[in-house]
Structure 1
Amino acid sequence: MIAAVTAAAVLAALGAVATGLKTHPGGDPTSAPAPAADTGPSAGSPAPLSPPGAAPVAADVTPSGPTGAADQGASAPITVTVRPSRRDDPECNQYVIDRPPSEVPRPPAVVDAPAWVAKTGAVAGHYQSIGLTVQGIGSDTVVLTALNVRIARIAAPLAWNAYSMGEGCGGGVDVHSFDLDLDAARPRPVVFEGSTGLPLKVSERDPEVIEVNAETTSHDVSWYLELEWSSGNRTGTLPIGLGDGAPFRTSAVKGRPLYRYPTGGKAWEPSPFQK
């Protein structure tokens, strides 16, 4: 089971807001199209996994759970704000970056995380923990019936350096917490022991926070969440990702050179906790 993760300095810059899907890195709302599955690697990314000798192919992009729905995206009577979670637990907060330590700025303050990630091209390493604040629109109560995962792309782990924002793992569990094994044959959110899953009621006056703790030890995974809902005689599925329709992205760090920036230090240095 995936450990609940927090970060003292900063987590991956996941901030997003979804209404239908309105998203923006850093948590500031802006209009964005609903996410679409990647059909292949982006520039500078490794090719998806494929059998030896075979041409690279895109990973299966079918949802990892049931997604039948009458309403999609913009008509959903809920808003979902996506933000980093577990900020006060640093060791689980790692990034992989295609730069040597001399070219990576020191760890940023939390408010500066989005700009730092954008500047360095950082990708969440090993763990990615996000919180979804779900709130109803209008006076009607909305029931959140299921949370599913859609894997957009799976590739070999990024062959980049890993950078840790601190050392040590641990922390508590939110009321509605899910673990997500991105290496599973069909990844799906699993309710964390002692937590409460779905269904769950929300309204304009009574929002709820759902935490998702994703982990990969073997791949570079691009993925979306899909939140199923019902309200009266309406049902639907709300896709959740980053701004501009981009998916969340998490890469394994095992075997990669790991660096840390010591408190009071002036440069990145090799971490004693190499994996």
Structure 2
Amino acid sequence: MTVLTGLVALVIQGGWGWLQGELSDPPELMAYAPGLDGCTPRYHDAPLSELHEHPEKVYRSGVMIPTTELWPSINVTLQAKTSEAIAITGAKISVLSTRPLPERGAVVDGEGCGGGIDQRAFDIDLRTNPVSLKPTVERTAQGGVIRSRDFPFKVSSGDPEQFMFNVKHAAGDVRFAITLSWVSGGEPGSTRLDNGGRGYRVMALPKDLPRYSKSEASKGRRLP
């Protein structure tokens, strides 16, 4: 289950101003970003015996591991508090920490993935420096190519946007943040998404650790 991170609300720069004879605040950008989600394998800092004793860990915790077929995503919803449009001009990924892969614990495979929904999709490659962030490119069954649209985007109170940041690759044990850049009324600003200060954590697949299915790790017990 994903962990809901804080609602980020920043008052856009520019000060007080008169509008239609009334004093009004500058417009605000609201950003809602739950934690990482997906059906990827997960690393658990526990041996199989401990996972058997606490099967809730199998379903409700663990560090997500991007693979060739499966990767975790951060879904971000952006909306302005007023009808005045805010231009979202870009996004930047900042690596907060990098550690070696763990040498103990276990990897549990994901299962039961559902279908996705249409969003503004971008791919993150944490192996590069600086971190690569590019619009997602998908290939259709007929051999065609579908490329997600790139920045800029426009949001207002009646026209929100949903973004999906797919973590396609990681090197080591990484925590990162996303900073969105925007412009309103000619004034620039930024909004930082960092999972309540903890950063979003993913890791590459540890190759020397035991790997189990969810049913093996939880002794076949499925929680409600």
TM-score by length of 1: 0.60
Q: 1:210 is matched with which residue: 163, 184, 191?
A: 163
The one-letter code of the counterpart of 1:147 is: A
Pair 1:132–1:251, CA change in 2 (3 A)? same
The one-letter code of the counterpart of 2:43 is: V
Query: What SS is found at the alignment partner of 1:262?
Result: helix
> Which structure has the highest strand share of the two?
2
Q: Give the equivalent residue in structure 2 for 1:15.
A: 4
Does structure 1 residue 106 correspond to structure 2 residue 55? yes
Question: Contact 1:180–1:213 at 8 Å: present in 2 too?
Answer: yes
Between the two proteins, the alignment pairs up a number of residues equal to: 191
Q: 1:96 is matched with which residue: 11, 36, 43?
A: 43
Question: Contact 2:73–2:166 at 8 Å: present in 1 too?
Answer: yes
Deviation (angstroms), 1:165 = 2.4
Question: Contact 1:14–1:130 at 8 Å: present in 2 too?
Answer: no
Question: Contact 1:107–1:261 at 8 Å: present in 2 too?
Answer: no
Deviation sequence 1:76-105 (CA, Å, 0-9, x none): 821111135775xx3xx2221110122224
Query: What SS is found at the alignment partner of 2:49?
Result: helix
Q: Give the equivalent residue in structure 2 for 1:247.
A: 199
Question: Contact 1:144–1:230 at 8 Å: present in 2 too?
Answer: yes
Deviation (angstroms), 1:130 = 1.1
Deviation sequence 1:11-46 (CA, Å, 0-9, x none): xx342233247xxxxxxxxxxxxxxxxxxxxxxxxx
Q: 1:83 is matched with which residue: 34, 40, 51?
A: 34
The one-letter code of the counterpart of 2:32 is: T
Kindly name which structure, 1 or 2, has the bigger radius of gyration based on alpha carbons: 2
Give the RMSD, CA atoms, in angstroms. Answer: 3.1
Please list every run of 5 or more consecutive structure 1 residues that lacks an aligned counterpart in the other structure. 1-9, 22-68, 269-275
Mapped partners of 1:132, 1:237: distance in 2:
15
Mapped partners of 1:164, 1:106: distance in 2:
14
Deviation (angstroms), 1:262 = 3.2
Mapped partners of 1:177, 1:81: distance in 2:
16
Pair 1:133–1:251, CA change in 2 (3 A)? same
Question: Contact 2:73–2:165 at 8 Å: present in 1 too?
Answer: yes
Q: 1:144 is matched with which residue: 73, 88, 98?
A: 88
Q: Give the equivalent residue in structure 1 for 2:76.
A: 132
